[in-house]
Structure 1
Amino acid sequence: MRETPFCLRVGHLLPCSMADSSSANFTNPSTFILLGMPGLEAAHVWISIPFCTMYTITILGNITILIIVKTEPSLHEPMYYFLCMLAITDLVLSTSTLPKMLSIFWFNSREIDFSACLTQLYFVHCFSAIESGLFVAMALDRYVAICHPLRHSTILTNAVVPKIGPVAVLRGAILALPYPFLARQWPYCRTNIIPYTHCEHMAVVSLACADIRVSSYYGLFTLICRIGLDVFFIALSYTQILRAIFRLPTKDARLKTFGTCSSHLCVILAFYIPTLFSSLMVRFAHNLPLNFHVFFANMYLLLPPMLNPVIYGVRTQQIRARLLQLLPRKGPKVFS
């Protein structure tokens, strides 16, 4: 297959033919054009198979988590309430991007309205921040449960836990709000082509013919808030958790206690590692092929929502046991 050359324009990679042919002025474009996977257009149908599979697992897995927690009274505890909040966040985060991606792959439907693009951009950053905030809340829950077990029911009561969700939502909404407002104010006079499968923030603002350092700096600021501060608080919680675990008298007790945190640690790594790589690559790794940028931008949106219910379903005994009860059992047929 013939490779498509790419050029650097306004700090971002674009196909040379498109960058050079963009002589028209798009001071306020009515639509953007999403390319999907540039250079791999012939393989879009095949690429859509894992994307569609991941989305299906995301929908089924998170809805299953919600049903299990709702129908099982023994799971009406803070940890599982947070897990339900996480499942809802994952459903919104994946649904804000996946249907449009699949329409590009299946129907070559690449146009997206300017306002719809900014709305998608907002939802991605808003619910990513909400998810990060929920991980902090879940780390707090594990800290209280392990370091102060006798006070857990009095600190994280059924009245307190539902209030943490709106706080995480409010923080995410406020942090993401400047993204579309800043993007809307820039004049777009070079091209309206976005070489991504969705409206990635830096890919959008890099099309502007203006000094976009405000958008870039604000993106770094929210990255520090979302990853830097949140990871700091999570690490602080787990430092105290590990100290408490190592003070336990037996190895079996230490392993059993640490096992209660293993699911949370796995989903944290699945969320923060792709997010960090994608955010840093789009700003600093301009020499990498464009498909690497697109791949990592997709992974941080697709991988965590799919893995979260799978990890919790496999590694959490109460959820696994309840799931096995819901599955139909094959038994011997009785003939009269």
Structure 2
Amino acid sequence: MYNNVTRIKDFFILGFPGLSPEYYGPVSVLLFVLYLVIAVGNLFILVVVKCERSLHKPTYLIFCHLALTDLAFGTVTLPKIISKYWFNDSIISFYGCFVQIYFVHSLGAVHSFILMVMALDRLIAVCAPLRYTVLFTNTIVSVLCGISWILPMSWMVGLVLDAANLPFCNSNIIVQCNCELIATISLACANVQAVWAVAFGLAMFSLLLPLGFVIMSYFIIIVVVTRISSSDGRIRTLSTCTPQLLITFLYYMPRCFMYMANDAGLPINPPLRIVVVMLYSHLPPAVNPMIYCLKTKGMKDNLRKKTFIRKFYISTKKSMKYNI
């Protein structure tokens, strides 16, 4: 215990270092548009799947959980950095910062574990198609996704409480666009090795375990697909995995690159690092809804049907008007 030696009451979010004030307006507008795209796109997926009974299937329930994590992550991180550049509001309260840390890291881990559930969905669909509806029901998906939410959000409580109990009596400037655990505890005036080691271990567990399972499952899928005699069958089977592969690639590849760059000692200056982190954290939530809609047969068919019905309704209404 540190006997309440904390003296810092607020943190200062630095954002993009070296950004000239003349660009604050355009940057805030760009971030606001990005947040609108994330919010509208992912809410659209949630509403469509909720309202369309034909989409009440395991794959689309998983998409809903991913959309919910993307929506929550954007809502937790973007409004504060938008207000910094829009209203020159860079201050976040001490406990508000640690609340943001909790959700940033727990939602990232939740998303990673749900990607593992999605890989399991495709593995069973390709390797045991005749038993898919028995082995992978909506109930099973709900349980697995529920566990994916509960585990990270449980272990992050202890980690964030330990970090919040550190004594902060030096700088209060966080060199990031949001409160991030390592960037924040590096400001503590105490030995943070224990907290850092636990945070690193949990981060590696929530990244490497799902990633290892994803790689293994898609390796098995590729082996199974190569044994299909028909070339059309191989293409059709692989096409069902395309959305999942794109979503998984967008999430894991930039993170793996950053970890490998750190281990290899590649010089990445802080401004570039912050931009890269912002890109791989917020572009996938904006792009994922388009992947769900454009690369998934059920969603495409549903949207085509809705569009056709709407066009038919409008044309019928016009013809009735003219006849009258």
TM-score for the superposition, normalised by structure 1: 0.86
Find the partner of 2:254 among 267, 274, 278: 274
* Number of the residue aligned with 2:42: 62
* Number of the residue aligned with 1:174: 154
Question: Which has the higher mean CA deviation after the structures are superposed, 253-262 or 147-156?
Answer: 147-156
Report the secondary structure of 1:33's partner residue.
strand
Computed over aligned residues only, the root mean square deviation of the Cα atoms, in angstroms, reads 2.1
C-alpha separation in 1, matches of 2:220 and 2:251: 22
* Number of the residue aligned with 1:126: 106
Report the CA distance between 1:168 and its aligned residue. 0.4
Report the CA distance between 1:299 and its aligned residue. 2.1
- % same residue: 32
* Number of the residue aligned with 2:273: 293
In 2 relative to 1, CA 296–281 (structure 1 residues): closer, same or farther, beyond 3 Å?
Answer: farther
User: Which amino acid is the alignment partner of residue 91 of structure 2?
Assistant: E
Point out the structure with the larger helix share: 2
Q: Structure 1, unaligned stretches of length 5 or more?
A: 1-25
In 2 relative to 1, CA 280–211 (structure 1 residues): closer, same or farther, beyond 3 Å?
Answer: farther
C-alpha separation in 2, matches of 1:216 and 1:282: 15
Report the CA distance between 1:66 and its aligned residue. 1.2
Find the partner of 1:36 among 15, 19, 26: 15
Report the secondary structure of 2:282's partner residue.
helix
In 2 relative to 1, CA 326–179 (structure 1 residues): closer, same or farther, beyond 3 Å?
Answer: farther
Instruction: Check whether the contact 1:55–1:94 (CA below 8 A) recurs between aligned residues.
Output: yes
Measured against aligned partners, the alpha-carbon deviations of 1:146-172 in whole angstroms (never above 9, x if no partner) come to 101111111112322211121001121
Instruction: Check whether the contact 1:179–1:201 (CA below 8 A) recurs between aligned residues.
Output: no
Report the secondary structure of 1:96's partner residue.
helix
Question: Which has the higher mean CA deviation after the structures are superposed, 78-87 or 27-36?
Answer: 27-36
In 2 relative to 1, CA 86–96 (structure 1 residues): closer, same or farther, beyond 3 Å?
Answer: same
C-alpha separation in 1, matches of 2:83 and 2:207: 31
Instruction: Check whether the contact 2:109–2:152 (CA below 8 A) recurs between aligned residues.
Output: yes
Q: Structure 2, unaligned stretches of length 5 or more?
A: none
Tell me if 1:84 matches 2:64: yes
User: Which amino acid is the alignment partner of residue 103 of structure 1?
Assistant: S
Q: Across the two proteins, how many residue pairs are aligned to each other?
A: 311
C-alpha separation in 1, matches of 2:242 and 2:209: 21
Report the CA distance between 1:308 and its aligned residue. 1.3
C-alpha separation in 1, matches of 2:105 and 2:263: 16
Report the CA distance between 1:331 and its aligned residue. 4.3
Report the CA distance between 1:226 and its aligned residue. 1.6
Report the CA distance between 1:60 and its aligned residue. 1.1
Report the secondary structure of 1:160's partner residue.
helix
Instruction: Check whether the contact 1:281–1:293 (CA below 8 A) recurs between aligned residues.
Output: no
In 2 relative to 1, CA 227–258 (structure 1 residues): closer, same or farther, beyond 3 Å?
Answer: same
* Number of the residue aligned with 1:240: 220
User: Which amino acid is the alignment partner of residue 36 of structure 1?
Assistant: G
